[in-house]
Amino acid sequence: MEKLQKTVEEWKAMLDPEQYNVCRLKGTERPFSGKYNETRTDGVYHCICCNEPLFDSSAKFDSGCGWPSFYEPIADSAMIEIRDVSHGMIRTEVTCAKCDAHLGHVFPDGPPPTGLRYCINSVCLDLVPR
C-alpha cells in the first residue's frame, strides 16, 4: 500500500482540532461522546484522514467501553499494530496502514470469532452507509 503523507500544516488545514489531536497527536475522545458509539447504521467505516476502508458495520458490537468497538478490521492490511507503553499501561495501538492516523487500541477481550476488541475513536472514522 502506498503511504499518504502530508505536512503538519496540510493535516491541520484538513482536520478539525479534535480530529487532528486524536489522529495525528495520538489523543483520545472522551468515552461515550463519539458520534459512532451507539450507531447501528449498516455500512463501512473509513479513515477520516485518507478515506481508506477500515471496518465493516457487521463487525461492530457494543462493548460498553464508551468507544465504537469492532471484532475485526475490514482487512488485516488496513491497520498497523504498535506496542504502546504510554500512560503506565502496555497496550496495542492501531493506526491506519495508509496514512498512519492513530485510531485507537486493540484488546484481547472481544467476542467470537476473533476474541478481539478494536476500541476506536469516532473522530477518526467516517461512516459510509450502504
Residue 23 marked as a ligand binder: no
- The residue to which cell 491541520 is assigned: 12
Continuous segment of H or E residues that includes residue 20: helix 17-25
Left if phi > 0, otherwise alpha if psi is -120 to 50, otherwise beta: which for 30? beta
Residue 47 marked as a ligand binder: yes
Q: Which residues contact 88 (CB under 8 A, 6 or more apart)?
A: none
Residue in 23, 49, 65, 119 annotated catalytic? 119
Residue 124 marked as a ligand binder: no
- The residue to which cell 497527536 is assigned: 25
Contact 51, 77 (CB under 8 A): no
Give catalytic status of residue 119 as yes or no: yes
Report the first-to-last Cα separation within the chain, whole angstroms: 25
Q: Binding site for Zn(2+): what residues are annotated?
A: 47, 50, 96, 99
Q: Which amino acids are annotated catalytic? A: 119
Q: Binding site: what residues are annotated?
A: 47, 50, 96, 99
